[in-house]
Amino acid sequence: MSIEIASVTKSFGSHKALKDVSLSIPDGTFFVVLGPSGCGKSTLLRTIAGLEPIDSGEIALGGETVARDGYHLEPERRKTGVVFQSYALWPHMSVAANVAFPMETAGLKTADIKSRTNEHLATVELTAFRDRKPADLSGGQRQRVALARCLAQGAKTVLMDEPLANLDPHLRGAMEEELAAFHKASGATTLFITHDQREAMALADQVAVMWDGEILQVAEPDVLYRRPTSRRVAGFIGRSSLVGVEVNHVEAGYANVTLAAHRIDVDCPNDTRTGSATLMLRPEHLVPSVGGHGLKANVERTIYRGGFWEVFVAIEGLTEPLLMTLNRPAAPGETLFLDILRGWILPEQLAFSS
Ligand code: ADP
Ligand code: MG
């Protein structure tokens, strides 16, 4: 089912948790809402599930309006499966019975329930724990029971609120792959909420970046990384340096800019104009040049990141150091000559250009 959210607002007292939020999520999409803690992600998910009424706007699931102007369809009639950060399992039932429960309610055949319960338990690596009660499991194990139960529901729309947040790193990676495989197989529209950009990048068809009750940008992970529309998104996704440049001229698809007295070509939005602008440089855009040409840079400090070094380099004429990576250690004070391979002019700076 598609999910349509149009101009939804939601306040708690004087706090605006959702400020005019609009999102259009096509049927079958794995859609991730990414944002820092407290920005309104869970509130958004709860309004879609029907656990929270909205103040204004409209929500439609599969073309059917479920919330608008005082109209509020009950959660159990919205055909959505929900996995929460923390949630209740049936305490009196075993792990296997918890997973089987939604299939029993749906009236599946006993043999099918049995085999699918086994399948889902294997997926979340809980086969050995099938007869335990939830009270005798760790937090991460309970999380996995809830995920298995969600898989068993076979819901057309699955809403997940940071379901992997409490898992060990190795299990998290495995669960990411399971979720991606499950999504592909089931075709269920999935709305997945996280504060972890790495997780968002790994799972999403589309990512919405949320900040203080607002959606800042919606894009494919790769586009979000390469072409953020604002300083905030650039700063929240991956690592980057932001520097002031002069745009000299603009050609189809790229701009020639002056950065610390060097002229380079970088990517830019279509409507870029000449004048001052902000250039985003990802660490991989800066590489050591061949033959001692290029931008002269002085190593300020380095941090070992396992397999590579993050290096902050000072450039004459720039107030802030630029961040790059090297596959060898570099000593503070060392001189490097750099090529700048690309970069991206931030569109929001157009307002300040001449
Ligand atoms: P996130 O999931 O992104 O961490 P939430 O949606 O849980 O953020 O919360 C967004 C904001 O709304 C927070 O400031 C939170 O304190 C507030 N909030 C959420 N639920 C309630 C509530 N039931 N009553 C009052 N304030 C709430
Ligand atoms: Mg939350």
Gap from CA of 260 to ligand 2 centroid (Å): 43
- Of the given ranges (158-172, 305-319, 330-344), which has the lowest mean pLDDT? 158-172
Gap from CA of 182 to ligand 2 centroid (Å): 23
List the structure tokens of 308: 């590579």
DSSP 56: E
pLDDT band of 86, cuts 50, 70, 90: low
Mutational pocket test of ligand 1: of 9, 12, 18, the residue with most ligand atoms within 8 Å of the beta carbon: 12
Indicate which atom in ligand 1 lies nearest the CA of residue 46. Answer: 6
| Ligand 1 close to Cβ of residue 354 (< 6 A) | no
List the structure tokens of 349: 């700076």
Output the CA–CA distances (angstroms, integers) from residue 166 to 7, 130, 141, 170, 183, in the order listed. Answer: 32, 20, 9, 12, 21
Mutational pocket test of ligand 1: of 14, 33, 43, 159, the residue with most ligand atoms within 8 Å of the beta carbon: 43
Q: What is the mean pLDDT of the chain?
A: 91
Ligand lying closest to the C-alpha of residue 17? 1
Q: How open is the CA angle 179-193-143, to the nearest 5 degrees? A: 55
| Ligand 1 close to Cβ of residue 36 (< 6 A) | no
Q: Is 84 helix (H, G, I), strand (E, B) or coil?
A: coil
pLDDT given for residue 281 in this prediction: 97
Torsion of CA 181, 185, 186, 191, to 10 degrees: 30
- Of the given ranges (27-31, 163-167, 282-286), which has the lowest mean pLDDT? 163-167
Ligand 2 ion local residues (Cβ < 5 A): 42
pLDDT, tens digit (0-9, with 9 covering 90-100), for 312-342: 999 999 999 999 999 999 999 999 999 999 9
pLDDT given for residue 269 in this prediction: 94
pLDDT given for residue 2 in this prediction: 95
How far apart CA 231 and CA 19 sit, in angstroms, is: 20
* Burial (Cβ within 10 Å: 0-12, 13-18, ≥19) of residue 192: buried
104 Rama class: left (phi>0) / alpha (psi -120 to 50) / beta: alpha
List the structure tokens of 197: 């950009």
Which phi and psi angles does 46 have, rounded to 5°? -65, -35
How far apart CA 115 and CA 178 sit, in angstroms, is: 18
Gap from CA of 102 to ligand 1 centroid (Å): 29
List the structure tokens of 102: 């939604």
Q: Which residue has the tokens 């919606």?
A: 218
| Res 98 pLDDT > 80 | yes
Indicate which atom in ligand 1 lies nearest the CA of residue 161. Answer: 2
| Ligand 1 close to Cβ of residue 17 (< 6 A) | yes
Gap from CA of 212 to ligand 2 centroid (Å): 13
Ligand lying closest to the C-alpha of residue 36? 1
| Res 85 pLDDT > 70 | no
pTM of full prediction above 0.95 = no
pLDDT given for residue 87 in this prediction: 59
pLDDT given for residue 84 in this prediction: 67
Q: Nearest residue CA, atom 12 of ligand 1?
A: 17
Pairing of β 206-211 and β 30-34: parallel
- The answer to whether residues 302 and 330 touch, using CB atoms and an 8 Å cutoff, is yes
Q: Give me the domains of the chain, ranges plus CATH numbers.
A: 3-231 (3.40.50.300), 240-345 (2.40.50.100)
List the structure tokens of 276: 């001052």
How far apart CA 57 and CA 301 sit, in angstroms, is: 50
Gap from CA of 277 to ligand 1 centroid (Å): 36
Q: Is 85 helix (H, G, I), strand (E, B) or coil?
A: coil
| Ligand 1 close to Cβ of residue 213 (< 6 A) | no
Residue environment code for 259-296, b if the CB has 16+ CB neighbours within 10 A, otherwise e: bbebebbbbbbeebeeeebbbbbbbebbbeeeeeebbb
Gap from CA of 42 to ligand 1 centroid (Å): 7
